[in-house]
Structure 1
Amino acid sequence: MTGFPRYAIYFAAGADSALSRFGTELLGYDACTGNELPFPDDALRVARDWRDISSDPRKYGFHATLKAPMTLAHGKSEADLMAACATFAGKARPIPTIRPVVDSISGFIAVIPAEPVATLQELAADCVREFDDFRAALRAEDRARRKPEKLSERQRDYLDRWGYPYVMEEFRFHMTLTGRLDSDRRRPILEMLRARFAALGLDTLTIDRIALFKQDDAKVRFRIIGEWALTR
């Protein structure tokens, strides 16, 4: 069993932003407050089982992964990690801006960049490297849960080195809205989500902050326990 509590460093839009409202309403969960939310009528119209479709991303809250969930290494504390987040955010760096779209990625639907953005890849790689001292070593059962036999050789190497296979050039920014769907089910849901997203009028999205999420045990969802604006 994975150790708890677990921590993750994610991008999460500001709580009062249109993007945050878009994601939290669709997931039925607000990671800032820990509150459950009613699902939108149009989501329920297109899929009566919307609660099930959105159940996997609901566990984590609306986010994009920068440093995947981890148990703290021996001798590291939550306070240490929060201080490291503040230090990381305080380092001047180029702030990535993407053109966000809603599309399918590996069978699920998410908000993703319309095209690759080098500064975003660099930000994610920096997070992976700079917070790795806080990560407890990957245990055999956790490694097996990642199904390494289905990963590429490079992804297996990254899993063993960084505790997560989708890092560095394997990283793909995504803010997940559904679990995996077969193509027939995915089409109408994708159309509905694109229409909802278009109504936001969000032509660009600046990845200008990091958030520290915490999961106390396997029975509860992740909550935001800290947020820091990145320094330009």
Structure 2
Amino acid sequence: MNAARYAIYYAPAPESPLWGFGSDVLGYDAATGATRLPLAPAGFSPEDWLRLTAQPRRYGFHATLKAPFRLAEGATEDDLVAAGRAFARKRRGFELPELAVRPIETFVALTPKEPSEALSGLAAACVEAFEPFRAPHSPEELARRRLAGLTERQQANLDRWGYPYVFEDFRFHMTLTGSLPEARVPAAVDGLAALYAEQVGAAVSTVKAVTLYVEEALEDGFRIVDRFVFGS
């Protein structure tokens, strides 16, 4: 079985302040493959922050639209790229809703301040459009993922689409930390919010592409393969 995993993510344009902020916080730029010491918020040492961002660093800065998957039998990366370009030609860009640094259970992420039908619709379209390229999970993978205490609907989504948090259960978020001790979550939120205001502020981001990431081997982490720009 091919070990490579692919994913369809929303990623800000590499030249944008939002991309720079997220990549700095995680200490990894998935567009260039460059790593650096993560930008630690106030109250966290650089060494401590390096450890606390280890999990999301593997995936690069992003919001999930189609969760990581291995290619179906007979499918190639070139096939996936061609499908991504065809998908993008039919879509038009829109403004990314205003984001805020917020806790989600034990980790911290950027999430929209208001619900966005445009984002939810884009995610749903990606789930369906790229499904033919997804190899089914092995029984072992499914069993491992079911340990998370999913709802009945989420279990059905996992079986059908390979990921539980799709359609009604989709929540757009751009992860900034791994799981934190509960007592440290407020300091992380406050510190990251200050960095976000300083680096991104009122800069407007647009959703004008979806991005293909690949993890060629488990130890490699994800990197950007291609950006599928809408309407081009």
Equivalent residue, structure 2, for 1:160: 159
Deviation at 1:104, TM superposition (A): 0.8
The more displaced of 130-139 and 199-208 is 199-208
Deviation at 1:181, TM superposition (A): 1.8
Letter of the aligned partner of 1:177 in structure 2?
A: L
Q: Structure 2: how far apart are the matches of 1:21 and 1:149?
A: 32
Equivalent residue, structure 1, for 2:119: 120
Letter of the aligned partner of 2:178 in structure 1?
A: G
Q: Structure 2: how far apart are the matches of 1:155 and 1:120?
A: 20
Letter of the aligned partner of 1:46 in structure 2?
A: F
2:231 is aligned with 1:226? no
Report Cα offsets for 1:82-128 as digits up to 9, x if no partner.
00010011003463531111111132111110111111101000000
Gaps of 5+ in 1: none
Letter of the aligned partner of 1:228 in structure 2?
A: F
Deviation at 1:184, TM superposition (A): 1.0
CA 1:159/1:178 → structure 2, altered by over 3 Å: closer, same or farther? same
Contact 2:28 2:57 in 1 (8 A): yes
Q: Structure 2: how far apart are the matches of 1:129 and 1:96?
A: 23
CA 1:93/1:148 → structure 2, altered by over 3 Å: closer, same or farther? farther
Deviation at 1:35, TM superposition (A): 1.0
| Paired residues for 1:72-111 under 5 Å | 72-93=71-92, 95=94, 97-111=96-110
SS where residue 43 of structure 1 aligns?
A: coil
Equivalent residue, structure 2, for 1:65: 64
Report Cα offsets for 1:176-209 as digits up to 9, x if no partner.
0101223311111111000011122136432221
Gaps of 5+ in 2: none
Equivalent residue, structure 2, for 1:170: 169
Identity %: 43
2:176 is aligned with 1:180? no
Contact 1:6 1:215 in 2 (8 A): yes
Contact 2:37 2:50 in 1 (8 A): no
SS where residue 115 of structure 1 aligns?
A: coil
Q: Structure 2: how far apart are the matches of 1:14 and 1:23?
A: 12
Equivalent residue, structure 2, for 1:11: 10
Q: Structure 2: how far apart are the matches of 1:96 and 1:170?
A: 22
Contact 2:93 2:209 in 1 (8 A): no
- What is the RMSD computed on CA atoms of the aligned residues? 1.8
Q: Structure 2: how far apart are the matches of 1:135 and 1:205?
A: 30
Q: Structure 2: how far apart are the matches of 1:96 and 1:167?
A: 22
CA 1:113/1:31 → structure 2, altered by over 3 Å: closer, same or farther? same
CA 1:153/1:96 → structure 2, altered by over 3 Å: closer, same or farther? farther
Contact 1:100 1:203 in 2 (8 A): no
SS where residue 180 of structure 1 aligns?
A: coil
Letter of the aligned partner of 1:43 in structure 2?
A: P
Deviation at 1:37, TM superposition (A): 1.4
